[in-house]
């Protein structure tokens, strides 16, 4: 089952996805006049923030609903629908930026090959996404909850959460020079008492779609009970995100 997106829910209850990506723009360090691609732009808030620093920026996203919403949000920028594994650009760009997208694409080598082809020599690739151990406690509780209901772990997880070493191999096999990489815990606040349930409903549909509504309720209550001691603090749920962040350069 492919992930589908509710753009209102993405922009509102999950605004942290782009709000927490703001400081990745500092690592990108866009210069006035540079041509930049936002790969997996979602509803375009970070694309607009890059443009506000004076760069010429365009956004692509695999989901047409996201692209349509991005175009409504920022009509003066250019957005289009394209797959990160197959996209091509009319002209190579100075930098490619990607926030909270690459963990959805297990074929990382295909993405990196397209990024390489779309960059000028000396072009930069700046990305942040889920790294090794991302959502470890939530995913363990999800598997346990499904098991208690008599269901297996469902089909293979749709996500790619590499270590720095694994991702460095993919980048270097393509020819990139990896100049900066970090992997760090980034507990991420989820809005309201239903924060955990909203996260699951938005991002983990694949693990819910074979359960009846009653079974889903049972699963949510069990997960909340199991995770509350670690992931609920002072009235707030936190997702146990771990972020890998990289800056790689295509040599001249």
47 vs 99 by CB, closer to ligand BEZ: 99
Q: Which of 5, 10, 125, 203 binds ligand BEZ (CB under 6 A)?
A: 203
Residue number, nearest CB to ligand BEZ: 130
Residue 13 makes contact with ligand BEZ by CB under 6 A: no
Per-residue contact track with ligand BEZ, 205 to 244, x per CB under 6 A? ------------------------------------x---
Task: Find the shortest distance in angstroms from Cβ 78 to ligand BEZ.
Answer: 25
Whose CA is closest to 61, among 81, 46, 76, 43?
81
Whose CA is closest to 28, among 115, 95, 103?
95
43 vs 174 by CB, closer to ligand BEZ: 43
- With H, G, I as helix, E, B as strand and everything else as coil, classify residue 167: helix
118 vs 204 by CB, closer to ligand BEZ: 204
Per-residue contact track with ligand BEZ, 124 to 163, x per CB under 6 A? ------x---xx-----------------------x----
Task: Find the shortest distance in angstroms from Cβ 168 to ligand BEZ.
Answer: 19
Q: Which of 13, 66, 84, 100 binds ligand BEZ (CB under 6 A)?
A: 100
59 vs 123 by CB, closer to ligand BEZ: 59
Task: Find the shortest distance in angstroms from Cβ 2 to ligand BEZ.
Answer: 13
d(CA 12, CA 80): 22
Q: Which of 103, 124, 146, 250 binds ligand BEZ (CB under 6 A)?
A: 103
**Do 161 and 134 form a contact (C-beta atoms < 8 A)?**
yes
Query: CA 179, 183, 184, 189: dihedral to nearest 10 degrees?
Result: 100
> Taking the CB of residue 4, how many other CB atoms lie within 10 A of it?
8
**Do 184 and 236 form a contact (C-beta atoms < 8 A)?**
no
d(CA 116, CA 107): 15
20 vs 89 by CB, closer to ligand BEZ: 20
Task: Find the shortest distance in angstroms from Cβ 138 to ligand BEZ.
Answer: 9
3-state SS, one letter per residue, for 26-81: HHHCCCCCCEEEEECCCCCHHHHHHHCCCCEEEEEECCHHHHHHHHHHCCCCEEEE
> Taking the CB of residue 31, how many other CB atoms lie within 10 A of it?
12
98 vs 174 by CB, closer to ligand BEZ: 98
| Contact set for ligand BEZ, span 38-57 (CB under 6 A) | none
User: CB-based burial of residue 252 (10 Å sphere; 0-12 exposed, 13-18 middle, 19+ buried)?
Assistant: exposed
Which residues in this chain contact ligand BEZ in the complex, by CB under 6 A? 100, 103, 130, 134-135, 159, 203, 241
């Amino acid at each position: 089952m492919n992930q589908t997106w509710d753009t209102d829910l993405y922009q509102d209850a999950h605004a942290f996805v782009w709000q927490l990506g703001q400081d990745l723009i500092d690592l990108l360090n866009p210069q006035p006049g540079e041509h930049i691609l936002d790969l997996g732009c979602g509803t375009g808030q970070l694309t607009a923030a890059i443009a506000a620093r004076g760069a010429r920026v365009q956004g692509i996203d695999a989901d047409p609903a996201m692209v349509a919403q991005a175009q409504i949000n920022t009509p003066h920028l250019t957005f289009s629908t394209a797959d990160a594994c197959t996209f091509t650009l009319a002209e190579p760009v100075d930098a490619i930026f990607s926030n909270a997208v690459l963990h959805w694409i297990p074929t990382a080598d295909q993405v990196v090959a397209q990024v390489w082809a779309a960059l000028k020599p000396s072009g930069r690739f700046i990305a942040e996404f889920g790294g090794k151990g991302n959502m470890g406690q939530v995913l363990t509780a999800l598997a346990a909850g499904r098991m208690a209901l008599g269901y297996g772990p469902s089909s293979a997880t749709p996500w790619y959460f590499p270590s720095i070493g694994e991702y460095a191999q993919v980048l270097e096999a393509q020819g990139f020079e990896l100049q900066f990489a970090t992997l760090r815990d980034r507990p991420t606040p989820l809005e309201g008492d239903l924060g955990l349930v909203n996260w699951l409903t938005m991002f983990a549909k694949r693990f819910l779609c074979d359960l009846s509504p009653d079974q889903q309720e049972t699963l949510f209550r069990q997960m909340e009970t199991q995770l509350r001691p670690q992931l609920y603090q002072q009235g707030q749920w936190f997702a146990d995100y771990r972020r890998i962040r990289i800056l790689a350069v295509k040599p001249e």
